[in-house]
Each structure stands twice: as structure tokens, then as C-alpha cells.
Structure 1
Amino acid sequence: MTYAADYYATYSVVGLLAVLGVLFVAVAFGAGRLLRPVVPTPEKLLTYECGVDPVGEGWAHTQVRYYVYAFLYVIFAVDSIFLFPWATIFAAPGYGATTLVEMFVFLGFLAVGLLYAYKKGVLAWM
């Protein structure tokens, strides 16, 4: 067997696994559709909202401010995830000064982002 045949044989295994995965999901959805009871009633067709019957229109206005808070949370969550590996590398010999400078650069970028959000008035709770 040549090198090219081994190379393509590896991809055929990956392709076979992908086809089997898609087939498994299709069979599961098909079995669910065949086995589930279908008894539509007016109550089942209503929009469910925390156990309360819906009143009025289905659309509600949401302030963009909440998305900005969520975005800021994600930024600082990524920051905390980055701090843990940094703390383990910082203790290793020969990496102290380099990792310290890298961390201050990273925290500087975060501080600039936080300052920008503060200047725009995003952090003012209303």
C-alpha cells in the first residue's frame, strides 16, 4: 500500500464516522416522531411563559443596555480564565518577568475597554 492510499484511508474513516453520526441523529429524531403522541389542543398551542397565560402581543422591547452588560461579563470571564494558566506559568523558573509584562499588557487592554464603557455611560445603572 502506498502513502497516498494510507492518507485517503484515514479520511475515509473520518467520513464514515461523520455519516454514522448523522445517521444516528436522523434515526433518533425519526423514532421520536413515530413514538410520540400527537394530540394538539388549544392550550398546547399557546405560547408558554413561566406558567402565566400570555396577554397582549408576543413581542416585547428589550433595552440594548442588558446586552452590553452581558458582553462586559463575558470579557471579564475570559479575563479570569486567562489568569489561572498565567498564575501557574508565573511560578515556573525563567518565565517570571515575561509573563508579568504580558499580564500587564492584557490588563491594560481590559482597562482601556472598561474606561471606554465608563466614558460612554454604559456602566450607569438606570
Structure 2
Amino acid sequence: MRSKETLSSRERALKCAIAALDKKAYDVKVLEIEPISSIADYLVLANGTSDKQVQAIAESVKQGLKKFGKALDIEGLQEGNWVIIDYGDVIVHVFLDERRRYYNLDELWENAAMLEIPEEYQWERAQG
């Protein structure tokens, strides 16, 4: 039996962000929270424009990370307005706009360092 490939938490967070961007997620951020919290090493925040897109983004993350192991938990996939995918060291939040604004995790974690997502995956910048 072949063992799963392993990733550092940083690599996992970036792969999650890239998988989200692959489905045209926008306002994607990777926050390094390990120095200020014990819940995870990184948070990945992303937006979708509809419940179907939020679900597609979450599925893309799940499928993109499948060969590195299963998520510990996934919440909100059926509803599609806020999906949380927990990998233990990385927690992915995929929101509809109004949910992200309402819960405002960006401000809650404003002291966290932000990881740079490689330019070639930033579809928003390419359109700008």
C-alpha cells in the first residue's frame, strides 16, 4: 500500500489557496496564525459569488488535497454559504460575500502575517 505524500502546513495552505483560485475564488488570503493561536498554523479565506461556486471551490480544495490525506472535518458544504474544511494544521473558509463581511475573520485575524500566493495563480490580478 502506497503511503500518502506529506506536506508542510505552509505547503498545504498554499495548495488549498491555489485549488480555490482554480475555481475563480476571489479575495483569497493565507494567514499564518500559528504564532498567535493554537487552533491551526494557517487559515485560508476565500470568497465565491454564489452557493454553487462556494461548493465548487470547496470541492476543488478537497480534490486538490486528496492525495495528501483527507480533511478531518467539513462543515457547510450542503448549504454553500460558508464552508469550513479542517485539515488540522490548516483551516479553509470559503464564504459568500455577505457571510465573510458579517463574520469578519479578516479583522479578527488582522495581526496574522499574510503569505504571498504565487503570482501565476492570481487570476484577479491578471484581469486587472
Bigger strand fraction: 2
Give the TM interval when normalised to the shorter protein: under 0.3
Bigger helix fraction: 1
Q: In terms of Rg, which structure is larger?
A: 1
What TM-score comes out, normalization by structure 2 length?
0.21
Higher RCO structure, 1 or 2 (CA under 8 Å, sep 6+): 2
What TM-score comes out, normalization by structure 1 length?
0.22
